[in-house]
Structure 1
Amino acid sequence: MTTSHAKPPCPVLTMGMEEEFLLIDPRSGGLRPVADQLMRRLGGAAACQVVPELTKCQVETNSAVHTDLRGLAADLLRLRTLTAAAASGAGAGLAACGTCLAGGGGMPALSSSPRYWRMYGQYRAVLYGQGVCGCHVHVGIADREEAVQVSNHARPWLPLLLALSANSPITDGKDTGYASWRAMLWARWPSSGPPPFFHSAGHYDSLLRGLHASGAILDRGMVYWLVRLSHHLPTLEFRTADTCATVGEAVMLAGLVRALAATALDDVRRGIPAPPVDQTLLCAAYWRAARDGMEGDAYDLLTGRVIPAWTLAERLLERVRPGLSAGGDLPLVTAELGRMRRHGSGAARQRAAYRRRDRVTDVAELIIRQTVGVPELLGGPPPSPGPAVAGTHAAPVGGAARAQEPTRQELR
Structure 2
Amino acid sequence: MRTVGVEEELLLVDPRTGRPVAAADGLVGRDPRVVGEFAQEMVELRTGPHTAAADLVAELGELRATVTALAGDVGAAPGALSVSPLGLGGTVTDTERYRAIIRDYGVLPRRHLTCGTHVHVQVADDDEGVIVLDGVRDWLPTLLALTAGSPFRAGEDTGFASYRWQLTSRWPVSGPPPTYGSAAAYHRYVQSLLASGVIRDSGMIYHDARLSHHLPTVEIRIADVTADVLGTVALALAVRALVQTAATGRQDRRATLGARASEGVAVGPATWLASWHGLSGRLIDPRSGRPAPAAEVVAAFLEHVGPVLEESQDADLVRGWAEQVLRSGGEARRQRAVFGRTGSLREVVADVVGRTTVSPSAGRPDAAGPRQRRFSRT
The equivalent residue for 2:167 is 185
Q: 1:147 to 1:96 in 2, by over 3 A?
A: same
Residue matched to 2:354: 369
CA distance in 1, matches of 2:185, 2:231: 34
Corresponding position: 1:32 with 2:21? yes
1:82 partner SS = helix
Q: CA deviation at 1:65?
A: 0.7
Match of 1:347, SS state, is: helix
Deviates more, 1:186-195 or 1:112-121: 112-121
Q: What does residue range 143-162 of structure 1 map to in structure 2 within 5 Å?
A: 143-162=125-144
Q: Superposition pairs for residues 7-406 of structure 1, below 5 Å?
A: 12-39=1-28, 42=30, 47-104=31-88, 108-267=90-249, 275=259, 278=263, 281-372=266-357, 377=370, 400-401=376-377
CA distance in 1, matches of 2:126, 2:257: 17
Match of 1:4 in 2: none
Deviations 1:277-314 (A, max 9, x none): 55762100000000100122101132122111111000
What do the CA deviations read for 1:192-238 (whole angstroms, capped 9, x no partner)? 01000012111101111111112221111111111111111111110
Cα contact 1:17–1:136 (8 A) shared by 2: yes
* Aligned partners of 1:96 and 1:368 also within 8 Å: yes
Are 1:196 and 1:279, in contact at CA under 8 Å, matched by a contact in 2? no
TM normalised by structure 2 equals: 0.91
Q: Which amino acid aligns with 1:246?
A: D
CA distance in 2, matches of 1:366, 1:326: 36
SS where residue 106 of structure 2 aligns? Answer: helix
Cα deviation per residue 1:366-404 (whole Å; 9 max; x = unaligned)? 11111136579386697xxxxxxxxxxxxxxxxx44xxx
Write the deviation string for residues 234-293 of structure 1: whole angstroms up to 9, x where unpaired: 1111011111121121111111100011111111899x8994555762100000000100
User: Do the aligned partners of residues 204 and 268 (structure 1) sit closer, same or farther apart at CA in structure 2, a change above 3 Å counting?
Assistant: farther
Q: Is the 8 A contact 2:257 2:287 kept in 1?
A: no
Normalising by structure 1, we get a TM-score of: 0.84
Distance 1:315 1:372 in 2: 33
Q: CA deviation digits over 1:44-100, x for unaligned, max 9?
A: xxx111100001111001001100112111111111111011111111110111101
TM-superposed CA distance for 1:147, in Å, is: 1.1
Distance 1:198 1:304, change over 3 A: same
Q: Tell me what 2:362 maps to.
A: none
Question: Taking structure 1 as reference, are residues 336 and 268 closer, same or farther at Cα in structure 2, changes over 3 Å only?
Answer: closer
Q: Which amino acid aligns with 2:225?
A: T
| Counterpart Cα distance in 2 of 1:279 and 1:262 | 25
SS of equivalent to 2:32:
helix
Give SS of 2:120's match.
Answer: strand
CA distance in 2, matches of 1:61, 1:167: 19
| Alpha-carbon distance in structure 2 between the residues aligned to 1:198 and 1:363 | 41
* 299-308 vs 248-257, which moves further: 299-308
Let me know the Cα RMSD of the aligned residues: 2.2
Tell me the secondary structure at the aligned position of residue 11 of structure 2: strand
Code of the aligned partner of 1:23: L
Query: Does the Cα contact within 8 Å between 2:251 and 2:304 map onto a contact in 1?
Result: no
Identity of aligned residues (%): 37
Which protein has greater RCO, CA pairs closer than 8 Å, 6+ apart? 2
Q: Would you say how many aligned residue pairs link Structure 1 and Structure 2?
A: 366
The answer to whether the 8 A contact 1:19-1:134 is kept is: yes
Q: C-alpha distance in 1, partners of 2:251/2:225?
A: 32
Q: What is the CA–CA distance in structure 2 between the aligned matches of 1:274 and 1:142, rounded to whole Å?
A: 28
- Aligned partner of 2:309: which letter? L
Q: Residues 269 and 280 of structure 1: is their aligned pair in 2 closer, same or farther, counting only changes over 3 Å?
A: closer
Q: Where has structure 1 moved over 4 Å in runs of 4 or more?
A: 276-280, 373-376, 378-382
- TM-superposition CA deviations, 1:79-132 (whole Å, max 9, x none): 111101111111111011110111117xx2111221111111111111132110
Q: Equivalents in 1 of 2:207, 2:73: separation in Å?
A: 35
Amino acid at match of 1:325: E
Q: Which amino acid aligns with 2:370?
A: L
Aligned to 2:187, what secondary structure does the other structure show?
A: helix
- Report the 3-state secondary structure (helix = DSSP H, G, I; strand = E; otherwise coil) of the residue aligned with 1:126: helix
